[in-house]
Structure 1
Amino acid sequence: MTKLFIIVTFLLCIQSNAQEFTWNENRQLKWEDFQGEPDEKSNAAAVTASGITFSYSLEKSSVHGVTDFSTKALAHFYPEHSWRKKDVVNSHILKHEQFHFNITELNVRYFREQISKLKVSSKIAKQLDALLKQANIDLEKMQRLYDAESNYSINKAEQQKWVDFVNKELKRLEIYKFK
């Protein structure tokens, strides 16, 4: 039996030598994590660069084709591509940025849930690739909706609705938390 190993990685930004880190419920973002150079032309006070990293391996047999598969999907934060304008940020904005990272984790859990429904077949690689593509589309849509509805954290009532929603969904999908 041979083992085929394929890695697919999606980053919201260009890869670098930055010390990215994985989402962890016990580790909240700090302003020191935002190491990128601020875009002074941007109206944003801060930007969180996070994304889904994904890999999978397939076990293949010359007789039976694909016989098994395993996956690993994680939410990562990229410090060198995340930035803040030091003179305008505060703890409220940091919480907003934390929830961008939490939304990435939430979408990773949605992705893992979809993967858990797959069955081994000769089409598994294409199915995994399609699920990853959709997960990234869904993540981008949710990130944009979060900013639009919360008005980039200015609308505190909408910001709180998002905090409540994301926390509730993370709890509901705890079975899909990385172990």
Structure 2
Amino acid sequence: MWAQEEILWSPHGKLEWRDFQGDVPPGSKAAATTASGISYSFSTFFENGEMKVNYKVESFFYPTKSWFRPKICNDVTLLHEQLHFDISEVFARKMDSEMSETKFTKNIKQEVRLLYKRILTELDAFQRRYDLETDFSRNIEKQKLWQKQISSMLKENENF
């Protein structure tokens, strides 16, 4: 049996503990880690002398880089980890939206790379704030508030 390299985010697919296939790093004190992120691809073509852009932005979960400690994890922990993946999707949609609104120049490669780096920086800051405000899932009330917020953000941008 081979390990799945990545899981594409889906509104109907929820993470299960069996998706967390990585090894717990020595010295780590965390209960679990979700490795998720955003990837993009694009191509350009010309139509009537104007540059057009085809692109795709997606969010992925990486099973072999994600792990958990079975003895201390529960359904609340799994929900917390799912929201990390959902947050990646929120920022993938943000990048998708910005790609659709940007008028790129002949320097499109560099422009897209800069956009991607900025989105990743924002994503990282948002993920950190989520962990701090929820105390890594231990603050149940804050966890519920974040769950509502992320659900709302996904609904606002479900057309991307």
What is the TM-score of this pair, normalised by structure 1? Answer: 0.82
Name the structure 1 match of 2:40: 54
Q: Give the alignment's Cα RMSD to 1 decimal.
A: 1.8
Q: Is the 8 A contact 1:66 1:120 kept in 2?
A: no
Given the superposition, is the C-alpha separation of residues 124 and 66 from structure 1 closer, same or farther in structure 2, using an over 3 Å criterion?
A: farther
Summarize deviations over 1:63-91 as a string: whole Å, max 9, x none: x9872211111000000000001111111
Q: Is the 8 A contact 1:56 1:69 kept in 2?
A: yes
**TM alignment of 1:26-45, pairs within 5 A:** 26-45=12-31
Whether 1:86 and 2:78 are equivalent positions in the alignment is no
Write the distance in 2 (CA, Å) between the matches of 1:66 and 1:125: 17
Q: Pick the aligned partner of 2:140 from 132, 139, 156.
A: 156
- Specify the code of the residue in structure 1 equivalent to 2:42: Y
Deviation at 1:40, TM superposition (A): 4.5
Q: Is the 8 A contact 2:31 2:68 kept in 1?
A: yes
Name the structure 2 match of 1:21: 7
Name the structure 2 match of 1:112: 96
Write the distance in 1 (CA, Å) between the matches of 2:36 and 2:92: 11
Percent of matched pairs sharing the same residue: 34
Given the superposition, is the C-alpha separation of residues 66 and 132 from structure 1 closer, same or farther in structure 2, using an over 3 Å criterion?
A: farther
Aligned length: 158
Mind listing any 5+ residue stretches in structure 1 that lack a counterpart? 1-16
Write the distance in 2 (CA, Å) between the matches of 1:46 and 1:120: 40
Mind listing any 5+ residue stretches in structure 2 that lack a counterpart? none
**TM alignment of 1:92-171, pairs within 5 A:** 92-171=76-155
Given the superposition, is the C-alpha separation of residues 40 and 91 from structure 1 closer, same or farther in structure 2, using an over 3 Å criterion?
A: farther
> Secondary structure at the residue paired with 1:75?
strand
Write the distance in 2 (CA, Å) between the matches of 1:124 and 1:33: 36
Write the distance in 2 (CA, Å) between the matches of 1:172 and 1:88: 34
